[in-house]
């Protein structure tokens, strides 16, 4: 018996309508994944949940539209014919031709000209060709120019929602859009409540609560550092944006890692809402790498050094205690970091993961400034600016604030936060790879914690990730300072 199968496509979610149970079963099994530590869930222990995150609902046939390529590929592999009913209403782009001189029409004051790098207009055109997807490009690859190019190609007064995770980052993007003359530009974060057609918003509950009624009206969704914008609040907003046919995410590391493997639940959630990674035809692999941009001198060279930390003896401590005693409250380690920072002659960023750790280091390093979550935007901006230009300056910043997106131009980066997330390591070193007139290379400093197996394994994994990204890395067993 032949089954009729219809693929109904909408902006947020789509649906497979069929009586073919074999097809439904295959789609269900291929598009489900175990989340991290699922066995610790009370629902799993009490057998109220089977431990799977389902990205295809076998009862309704629904799935997130960004997974359309996966669904169609499976149907083709199974040799299942289908009809398409596409109910999306794509926006007619004002123009789709972008070349290396495109942004010269809107040069900011003081700029003589701008020649876009070959991959920037190419990826902008891919955004307009496919209407949804992920722009994956290393930190300092110039994603802002891709973003602005896309905005300039939209018809006038198209409702656009741009957002990212923090007030600092959304403020930075707002100023850059303003600098490039993006019209009808508004913002809704912190003390700013300025509605307009192009809205810059933070992905916090208060921000979205106040613009919730507007979400169904936006035609375009643009998200910077999309990997960090997949919590319950932004995801709920994505689902309400039923008119947003254009959905573009930007990130150097779009998918988070679970130990040494990509977190498939996070990956398919990102892809489900935004679509696949957009590949550029300007490099053979289709994906830009840090090493390639360094070779082309778009990014600064790097020199990475790990220093051994072997005190105190924490061999039998569980992970959380090892972090507290081996990093946060380890005064031997604090002394190493402070001595290292005092040898750095230029702009220096020290990254920590615990408030108490940052407070200790601020006391030990004369002139250092510590920025944490409670510091308002007005307090953070001068510190960020001091890390862009000027003489010797030491900033201690919580990892959650600085890991993604913030533009700085530093000479030394000291990772005093530890950690094992591969995406965090890539994002972190990326903060220091921007070129500057007074800079020859980035000196990246990290630590090999040997006094506890958990901390040692995490240190070795950071070392491995940096080597895999093409950075020269060395281990010094004797601390030279």
Q: Is residue 238 domain-shared with residue 329, that is, in the same domain?
A: no
Q: Is the pLDDT of residue 261 over 70?
A: yes
* Residues 309-348: tens digit of each pLDDT: 999 999 999 999 999 999 999 999 999 999 999 999 999 9
Mark whether 398 and 430 lie in a shared domain: yes
Alpha carbon 79 to its chain centroid, in Å, reads 37
Torsion angle, alpha carbons of 302, 388, 170, 192, to 10:
170
255, 296: one domain = no
pLDDT tens per residue across span 137-171? 998 899 999 999 999 999 999 999 998 888 888 89
Which residue blocks in 241-354 are alpha helix, DSSP H? 264-274, 290-295, 319-323, 331-343
Span 251-273, average pLDDT: 92
Backbone angles phi, psi at 210, to 5 degrees: -80, -15
3-state class of 404 per DSSP?
coil
Residue 112 located in a structural domain: no
pLDDT at 197 over 90: yes
CA distance 76 to 94: 34
The predicted model scores a pTM of 0.90
- Whether residue 315 is contained in a domain is answered as yes
Q: Are residues 270 and 296 in the same domain?
A: no
Does the residue 481 lie in any domain?
A: no
Q: Which residues pair with 8 in a beta bridge?
A: 15, 85
Q: What's the pLDDT score for residue 123?
A: 97
Average pLDDT, the chain: 93
Q: Same domain, yes or no, for 255 and 316? A: no
Task: State yes or no: pLDDT of 206 exceeds 80.
Answer: no
* CB proximity list for 441: less than 8 A, separation 6 or greater: 300, 301, 302, 303
- For 26, the domain range is 6-86
Helix (H, G, I), strand (E, B) or coil at 331: helix
Q: Report pLDDT digits (tens) over 280-292.
A: 999 999 999 999 9
Q: Are residues 302 and 384 in the same domain?
A: yes
Strand partners, 87: none
Give domain status of residue 249, yes or no. yes
CA distance 138 to 353: 23
Question: Residue 304 pLDDT > 70, yes or no?
Answer: yes
Same structural domain for residues 266 and 311?
no
CATH of the domain at 61: 3.30.780.20
Q: Are residues 321 and 450 in the same domain?
A: yes
Residue 280 lies in a domain: no
In the structure, what pLDDT confidence band is assigned to residue 257 with cuts at 50, 70 and 90? confident
Residue 103 lies in a domain: no
Confidence bin at 402 (pLDDT 50/70/90): confident
For residue 9, the SS3 value is strand
Domain stops at, among 225, 245, 274: 274
Residues 320 and 257 in one domain: no
Say what percent of the chain tops pLDDT 70: 99
- In a domain, residue 374? The reply is yes
Residue 106 forms part of a structural domain? no
Instruction: Say which CATH number the domain at 168 has.
Output: 3.40.50.300
Do 297 and 440 belong to one domain? yes
Q: Which residue has the tokens 């003081």?
A: 110
Nearest alpha-carbon partner for 359 in 349, 348, 371, 347: 371
Q: Which range has the worst mean pLDDT, 79-93, 300-314, 395-409, 448-462?
A: 395-409
Domain count, the chain: 3
Element holding 360 (H helix, E strand): helix 355-364
Same structural domain, 157 and 188? yes
Residue entry with tokens 């990826």: 123
Of 274, 307, 336, the position where a domain reaches its end is 274
- The per-residue pLDDT for range 350-368, each reduced to its tens digit, is 999 999 999 999 999 999 9
Judgement on whether residues 310 and 458 belong to the same structural domain of the protein: yes
Residues in the chain, overall count: 481
Neighbours of 54 (CB within 10 A): 13
Domain final residue pick, 274, 307, 330: 274
């Amino acid at each position: 018996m032949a089954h009729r199968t219809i693929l109904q496509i909408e902006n947020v979610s789509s649906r497979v309508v069929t009586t073919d149970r074999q097809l439904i079963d295959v789609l269900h099994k291929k598009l489900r994944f175990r989340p991290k530590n699922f066995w610790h869930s009370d629902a799993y222990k009490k057998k109220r949940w089977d431990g799977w995150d389902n990205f295809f609902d076998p009862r309704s046939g629904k799935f997130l539209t960004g997974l359309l390529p996966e669904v169609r590929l499976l149907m083709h592999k199974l040799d299942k014919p289908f009809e398409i009913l596409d109910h999306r209403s794509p926006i007619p782009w004002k123009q789709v031709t972008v070349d290396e001189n495109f942004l010269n029409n809107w040069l900011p004051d003081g700029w003589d000209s701008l020649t876009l790098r070959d991959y920037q207009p190419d990826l902008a055109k891919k955004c307009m060709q496919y209407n949804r997807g992920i722009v994956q490009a290393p930190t300092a690859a110039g994603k802002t120019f891709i973003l602005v190019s896309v905005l300039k190609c939209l018809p006038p007064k198209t409702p656009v929602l741009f957002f990212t995770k923090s007030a600092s980052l959304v403020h930075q993007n707002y100023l850059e859009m303003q600098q490039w003359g993006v019209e009808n530009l508004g913002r809704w974060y912190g003390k700013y409540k300025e509605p307009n057609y192009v809205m810059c918003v933070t992905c916090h509950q208060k921000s979205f609560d106040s613009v919730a009624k507007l979400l169904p009206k936006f035609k375009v969704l643009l998200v910077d550092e999309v990997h960090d914008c997949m919590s319950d609040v932004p995801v709920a907003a994505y689902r309400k944006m039923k008119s947003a046919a254009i959905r573009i995410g930007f990130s150097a590391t779009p998918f988070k890692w679970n130990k040494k493997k990509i977190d498939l639940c996070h990956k398919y959630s990102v892809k489900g809402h935004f679509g696949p990674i957009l590949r550029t035809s300007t490099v053979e692999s289709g994906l830009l790498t840090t090493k390639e941009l360094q070779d082309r001198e778009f990014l600064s060279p790097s020199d990475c050094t790990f220093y051994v930390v072997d005190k105190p003896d924490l061999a039998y401590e569980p992970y959380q205690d090892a972090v507290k005693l081996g990093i946060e409250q380890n005064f031997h380690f604090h002394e190493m970091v402070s001595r290292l920072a005092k040898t750095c002659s230029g702009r220096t960023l020290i990254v920590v993961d615990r408030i108490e750790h940052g407070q200790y280091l601020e006391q030990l390093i004369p002139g250092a400034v510590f920025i944490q979550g409670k510091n308002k935007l007005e307090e953070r901006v001068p510190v960020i600016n001091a890390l862009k230009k000027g003489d010797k300056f030491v900033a201690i910043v919580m990892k959650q604030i600085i890991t993604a997106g913030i533009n700085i131009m530093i000479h030394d980066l000291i990772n005093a936060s530890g950690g094992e997330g591969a995406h965090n390591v890539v994002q972190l070193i990326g903060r220091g790879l921007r070129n500057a007139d007074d800079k020859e290379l980035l000196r990246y400093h990290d630590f090999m914690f040997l006094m506890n197996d958990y901390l040692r394994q995490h240190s070795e994994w950071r070392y491995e990730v940096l080597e895999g990204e093409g950075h020269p890395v060395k281990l010094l067993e004797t601390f030279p300072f």
